[in-house]
Amino acid sequence: MSHTLETVVNETAANPQWAVIWLHGLGADGHDFAPIVPELLRPDWPAIRFVFPHAPVQPITINNGVPMRAWYDIVSMDFASRADAAGVTASVQALDALVEAEIARGIPAERILLAGFSQGGAVILSAALRWTRPIAGLIALSTYLPDPKAAADARVADGIRPPVFMAHGAHDPVIPQGIAVESAGMLKSLGFPMEWHSYPMAHQVCAEEIHALGDWLDARFRAA
């Protein structure tokens, strides 16, 4: 995977003081969550640069090898081994390059948030265990931590432990909520401050979730 990804960028005002890098799910692209910005914004927030990268197109094993945008191949239905480890690592490196680009544009790591839905969320959670960057927080929607044992073994001792907003659908047929609960529990045990939300929905987002995320973001901005 190239570490240079095409992106959709939405700046809420001139001279952004914060950045949110938001990774989409399997088969979608960077446009997928761009419409969420006006629903999320609040009048007194600082200027934010939202960066929505496009995942590369690659064949997906469980979809009979059909190519689509994906952050990694899905090689099995078993959650313990379904994510292609090399693909996850490549996406973590690509995400790191996006963070570097925001730092180069003048936004410190402490004001960069990472967000992801489904596959995108799996990548940001994996990245958090491998980095030492002091990022502002993680937003993990309808997702889980791939291969938690390997992820825990790969974590760096002096790594980051940013606050996490994690939300899931109680009726999610793609990633059962129990898998996400296990991931949240593991992250919490490793020292990540965790805010967990469950909603009566499937593999999607809902208005109540966006409102709760807005409250969580508001707390991050006010604490800075």
Report the amino acid identity of residue 181.
V
Q: Which residues are annotated as catalytic?
A: 118, 172, 203
Q: Which residues neighbour 151 within 8 Å (Cβ) at sequence distance 6 or greater?
A: 125, 126, 129, 145
Pairing of strands 57-60, 66-69: antiparallel
Residue 158: count other Cβ atoms within 10 Å of its Cβ.
6
Looking at per-residue pLDDT, the higher value among 152 and 132 belongs to 132
The pLDDT value given to residue 149: 74
Residue 37 tokens, joined: 């910005």
- For the stretch 184-202, pLDDT in tens is 999 998 889 999 999 999 9
- For the stretch 37-48, pLDDT in tens is 999 999 999 999
Among 193, 95, 89, residue whose Cα is nearest residue 151: 89
* Residues above pLDDT 90, as percent of the chain: 79
What is the spatial distance between Cα 140 and Cα 144, in angstroms, rounded to a whole number? 8
Residue 213: count other Cβ atoms within 10 Å of its Cβ.
21
The pLDDT value given to residue 47: 97
